[in-house]
Structure formats: structure tokens, C-alpha cells
Amino acid sequence: MRIDLTGHQIDLTPALRDYVETKLDKLARHFDHHLEARVVLSVEKVEHKAEATLLAAGRTLHADATEENMYAAIDVLLDKLDRLVLKHKEKLTDHHRGESAARSADFG
């Protein structure tokens, strides 16, 4: 997984960078192929904002979160991304079981 982490109006400490990377590694367990994530952390007055764009299987997933604490914003962001990834993965699976007349050549 490739992670591009940037900060606006905030210094990215090694602890903050490691926290984001370990959280994003949990998303990589849902897919076998390469993922790319762009994460932007920013501070506006008293609000801490975390937003991420995840490129997975030809699909772009985006989420953002605003909290009073940066670590809380990252946690909420990753919860949202996890739900989006699971929803996307659910769409990729074929839920049709068995053969049906509509899918066979004999239909018509």
C-alpha cells in the first residue's frame, strides 16, 4: 500500500505519521492488490480535519472527518473508509447462485 500523507497548517510528527500508516494498513487486508491512499491532515482554528482518497480496483473512494482532536478525526475517517471499502467489495462479488433461465442461452 502506498500512502501519500500531507499536512496543512500542521506539522506531521513521526507519531502522527505512524498512527495513520498503521490504521491504513488495516484497510489493505480487504484487498489482495495494490492500494494507493492520499491523506490530508489540516487544522482550522479549533477543528482538526482528516480527509483521504483511496484508489482501489479502478474506483476512487473519498471520505473526510472533522473532530476536536486529530487522533479522533483519523479514527472517524478510517471507520468511514472501512465502510466504503466493504461496500465496494460487496458490489464486486457475484451474488447470483446457480443457473437461471434468464442467464442461459435457452431463454427466449
pLDDT of 22 > 80? The answer is yes
Q: What is the rounded distance in angstroms from the CA atom of residue 74 to the CA atom of residue 49?
A: 8
> pLDDT tens digits, residue range 1-11?
889 999 999 99
Q: What is the rounded distance in angstroms from the CA atom of residue 33 to the CA atom of residue 57?
A: 8
Residue 108 lies inside a defined structural domain of this protein: no
> pLDDT tens digits, residue range 30-67?
777 778 899 999 999 899 999 999 987 778 999 999 99
Between 94 and 72, where is the model more confident? 72
Residue 103 lies inside a defined structural domain of this protein: no
**What is the span of the domain harbouring residue 82?**
2-92
Taking residues 10-14, report their average pLDDT.
93
State the amino acid at position 101 in one-letter form: A
Residue 102 lies inside a defined structural domain of this protein: no
List C-alpha distances in Å: 39 to 84, 87, 101, 103, 105. Answer: 16, 20, 47, 43, 48
Cβ atoms of 56 and 85 closer than 8 Å? yes
- The number of beta carbons lying within 10 Å of the beta carbon of residue 56 is 23
Residue 101 lies inside a defined structural domain of this protein: no
- The number of beta carbons lying within 10 Å of the beta carbon of residue 96 is 8
Residue 107 lies inside a defined structural domain of this protein: no
Residue 98 lies inside a defined structural domain of this protein: no
Residue 62 lies inside a defined structural domain of this protein: yes
> pLDDT tens digits, residue range 57-75?
778 999 999 999 999 999 9
CATH number, residue 9: 3.30.160.100
